Structure 1
Amino acid sequence: MASKILMPVPVCLIENSQRKGLVVQQEALQVLSKVTQPVVVVAIAGLYRTGKSYLMNRLARQRKGFSLGSSVQSHTKGLWMWCVPHPCKPGHTLVLLDTEGLGDVEKGDNKNDTWIFVLTVLLSSTLIYNSKGTIDQQAMDQLHYVVKLSEHIKLKAAPEKSEDELKDSEKFVLFFPTFVWAVRDFTLRLELNGKEISEDEYLENALKLKAGSSPEIERYNQPRECIRQFFPGRKCFVFDPPARKRDLDHLEELQDDEIEPEFLQQVEKFCSHIWEKSPPKTVRGGHFVTGNMLGKLAETYVKTIQSGAVPCLESAVVALAEIENTAAVKAAVTLYQDLMKQQAKMPTQTLQELLELHTKCEQEALKLFMARTFDDDICYCQADLIRQVQQVKEKFCTDNEQASRVKCEAALKDLSQDMERRIRDGAYSVPGGYELFKGDEQALVRKYRELPGKGVKADAVLQEFLQRKQAVAKVILNADVSLTEKEKELKSEQDRNERAEQEREVQRKKEAEEKQKVQDQLRSCEEHRLRLKKKLEESCEKQLEEHQKMMSHKSKEESALLREGLRDKANYMQLVNRRLEQEYCTTKNSYMSWIDTMISILMGLVSVVLRFWK
């Protein structure tokens, strides 16, 4: 579906105006609501007039799109969005976010610059920081927004004490995007101590910390520490000047032969890396974010900022989970209903045939539900899914019975036309008329039973038909002068026994069908239990895996600090790692009981739901 979305030009996702502040734009939300695929969100941030938009246009494989501007004024206000089919990942959509230039002197009030940067970090899966010249102290000072992230983002809704907030910032690496530093108009040689180095080595050298605790050193180290600790991956690209200065104002209009070949090669290398390596956007538990979910996150974060509060990752995911879980129930029920309508050939010959189709369609619906839902309140949503599917199933069962009844009654009406005519004409009001009547009735029953496709109510409708004919049969029997009173009594008793046997047979089939329904409910409950158990186990494994990646990141940072001779900082990082390891063990040990509790809750809810249908 997302590949059919045509966006010839970007649209504003979050407007930043002096009068209203930050406002999410409905046009962009409408576009995102149609993107049902996972999204890879690549955002770019940096000082104004550093050529951010050009790189984003190239990532969209276009020359124009995001506005480049041509003066020293910041051109992009807020966050602009461009959704395009992903060049390398089928089934994914590439969402490009071009941000308002930071540090625009004409704005006067720069308080929104920090929020623009915060939103860029929160919404993206890859963050590109664009700067000019070299990665020196001035460049680091210009990236002071990264230092403020711990003050402007919360991990949990209500940390118990201030040190918990510090611990939360240590876990930002779990949620933050990969970090790419793009250095424009780079004119130096990539050398260190006389040896050629790579772009990544250039960045890592620039991020080295200084020993000491003076205010100047703390100020020097702070942005570097934040980049090293907050972002799970780092990459660097340097770019030569693209063209002569006089051509820079209309760079998007230049043909490739008018642009420096080295610059074009660097851009191609950069784009290939972003396309191939940028991960899909995820939230806690490894849930892939779709376009619609990205729009909901943007709304949640901006609403929080507008209220004067700090965006909270936990609260945003909880709010998103509530929306997505409700939508998952609706989508799963709709899928179940559509599949049943498409495949159910009513009337089915047996109830078992319909229940087998129900099982198949329910499994597909449950698969969709599990793929879309979050762990938050999943038991209650799953119980609601069971209730709604049961309701739809009962409707199909009722419709199936009604379709069978209509077909059977029509067949009996057609088959009994000759018998009805004979009754009206008095053909049975003669000596031996009762035997003639019973013979015609038995012939009708044989023909009826030979008819295919009568459905589940075949026997019940036939029994009702024969019962209606009992009064006529009794009149014919009493009027038949060829029979003695004793013979009439025997015939009457025989008729009663036949009727009783027919009723017992219909009742046996009804009880068998009820047993089938109960067995189907038990099967369904077990299916739901196993699917929930599997989902929760996979979710736990993902969270443990994420925790391990975080510990691995911290361990690498600890090793790097030791290599740089910063033993005090390395010791602190070691304490962080020990605390994370303890959390890992505690969490791992508690998962099994948590899963059992969730399953117990579901089974309790399901018993209440199914009791209604008994």
Structure 2
Amino acid sequence: MAKIENESAVKEGLEVYQRGMEKLKDSFPLELKDVSSEHQRLSSLATQTFMKRSFKDNEGIFMKCLEEHINKLFDGYLCQNQEASKKRCENLLSSLCAPMTEKIKKGFYAKSGGYELFSQDLEVIVKEYKMEAKKGVKAEDTLEEFLKQKFVDSKAILQADKKLTEKEKKIMEEREKSVLLAQVINTKEQKQQQLEEKMKAERRSNKERMKQMKEKMDEEIRLQREEAKRTMDSKLRVQADLLEKGFKEKADRMTKEMEDFRKKNKEAEKNSDQLFKNMIENMNKRHDETIKLMMRQHSEQMNVIMSMPRPESDSSSLILCLLLAGLGGGSLGSGSCSFPCSC
């Protein structure tokens, strides 16, 4: 009976979570903090729904089941949000890049001075892309892929440009490498920030689960004590009636029964308290393992970022200024950007 009831409780909790996340999905792409915030709220509601119906889940088996299913669903929604962000960013860049694509087809840049014209157009595309809102979690990733593709075109245009000397071409090539390096670092830093947000969300969710578990246990103990009091009051009335009718021997037996009842009830409370402590310990253990994994990923990503060389700031390159401004809040470049732009 308890198994059937608890399975139904898990199902109801998951339905509450899924309904809410399906509504949120209509707004994808969103920033990770917005998805995490709604995940936490719905996870809390799902846990409340489960606890209202759950029955004697003393070892927390079904609570763990709910938690694992919610985390699996959350990972799925995060993937869908990433896909929506990637699609939005690719469509945006495709739209912004359409005039450039047409110019390349017509050979517009295949002339003396063509590389400078191409670079100017690319800078405009990047600036407009950076200004667009609601790009979501794949904004930097998608821009990195775009720049890699465009620098294939750029290299061909650069080599064909007879206006530039070989020395100038080498300088331009180095500048492009700096631009790509800046964007690669931007992408890694965005992923680092997203991992930090996931850790914050996990800590908040675990704290909320602990709170709900304590409230559930406090309520169960309160009900248990009320039931014990009602039973004891009933026994006392029966005993008083026996004494009034002169059945002293039966009344004495009732005294022993009541003493046994008190001991059993006290032992039951002690067992419930221990089960609760075990559930909390297991939940905290799962939480700690999740955080440790995230911390290890965070440390590995940070080591990669810190080991990468920092691109030099170049005030003659608007695109590099825009990208350097994104590095660690603009503080990681080796020089300051003096180009007269909004970065």
TM more than 0.5 = yes
Displacement of 1:581: 2.1
**Counterparts in 2 of 1:323 and 1:413: CA distance versus 1, 3 Å:** same
Compare the two structures and name the one with the higher helix fraction.
2
Match of 1:561 among 218, 242, 258: 242
Counterpart of 1:421 in structure 2 is: 102
The reply to whether residue 597 of structure 1 matches residue 278 of structure 2 is yes
**Counterparts in 2 of 1:531 and 1:395: CA distance versus 1, 3 Å:** same
Counterpart of 1:148 in structure 2 is: none
**Counterparts in 2 of 1:601 and 1:455: CA distance versus 1, 3 Å:** closer
Cα separation, 1, equivalents of 2:78 and 2:105:
38
Counterpart of 2:22 in structure 1 is: 341
Counterpart of 2:232 in structure 1 is: 551
Counterpart of 1:530 in structure 2 is: 211
Match of 1:539 among 202, 220, 229: 220
Contact 2:59/2:278, CA 8 A, preserved across alignment: no
In the alignment of these two chains, the number of paired residues is 295
The reply to whether residue 434 of structure 1 matches residue 115 of structure 2 is yes
Displacement of 1:589: 4.2
Displacement of 1:372: 0.9
The reply to whether residue 382 of structure 1 matches residue 70 of structure 2 is no
Counterpart of 1:471 in structure 2 is: 152
1:27-106 correspondence runs (5 A): none
Deviations 1:465-513 (A, max 9, x none): 1110111111111121111222111111111111101110110010111
SS at match of 1:550: helix
**Counterparts in 2 of 1:605 and 1:490: CA distance versus 1, 3 Å:** closer
Counterpart of 1:321 in structure 2 is: 2
Cα separation, 1, equivalents of 2:270 and 2:16:
37
Displacement of 1:541: 2.3
Amino acid across the alignment from 1:431: S
TM-score by length of 2: 0.80
Counterpart of 1:398 in structure 2 is: 79
Amino acid across the alignment from 2:247: L
Deviations 1:146-193 (A, max 9, x none): xxxxxxxxxxxxxxxxxxxxxxxxxxxxxxxxxxxxxxxxxxxxxxxx
Compare the two structures and name the one with the higher strand fraction.
1
The reply to whether residue 521 of structure 1 matches residue 199 of structure 2 is no
Match of 2:143 among 446, 462, 486: 462
1:112-127 correspondence runs (5 A): none
Cα separation, 1, equivalents of 2:111 and 2:18:
57
Amino acid across the alignment from 1:468: Q
Instruction: Give ranges in structure 2 of 5+ residues lacking alignment.
Output: 298-343
The reply to whether residue 496 of structure 1 matches residue 144 of structure 2 is no
Deviations 1:539-585 (A, max 9, x none): 12211221121111101111121222222221221221122222333
SS at match of 1:426: coil
Deviations 1:244-278 (A, max 9, x none): xxxxxxxxxxxxxxxxxxxxxxxxxxxxxxxxxxx
**Counterparts in 2 of 1:601 and 1:456: CA distance versus 1, 3 Å:** closer
Amino acid across the alignment from 2:246: G
Contact 2:31/2:136, CA 8 A, preserved across alignment: yes
Displacement of 1:611: 8.5
Greater displacement, 580-589 / 500-509? 580-589
SS at match of 2:135: coil
Counterpart of 1:448 in structure 2 is: 129
Displacement of 1:452: 3.0
Counterpart of 2:260 in structure 1 is: 579
Cα separation, 1, equivalents of 2:59 and 2:266:
25
Contact 1:537/1:595, CA 8 A, preserved across alignment: no
Identity, in percent, stands at 28
Cα separation, 1, equivalents of 2:248 and 2:280:
48
Instruction: Give ranges in structure 1 of 5+ residues lacking alignment.
Output: 1-319
Rg larger in structure = 1
TM-score by length of 1: 0.46
Contact 1:432/1:482, CA 8 A, preserved across alignment: yes
Cα separation, 2, equivalents of 1:424 and 1:605:
56
Displacement of 1:514: 1.4
Contact 1:416/1:444, CA 8 A, preserved across alignment: yes
Counterpart of 2:338 in structure 1 is: none
Displacement of 1:610: 8.3
Give the CA RMSD over aligned residues.
2.2
Cα separation, 1, equivalents of 2:155 and 2:289:
49
Amino acid across the alignment from 2:118: F
Counterpart of 1:368 in structure 2 is: 49
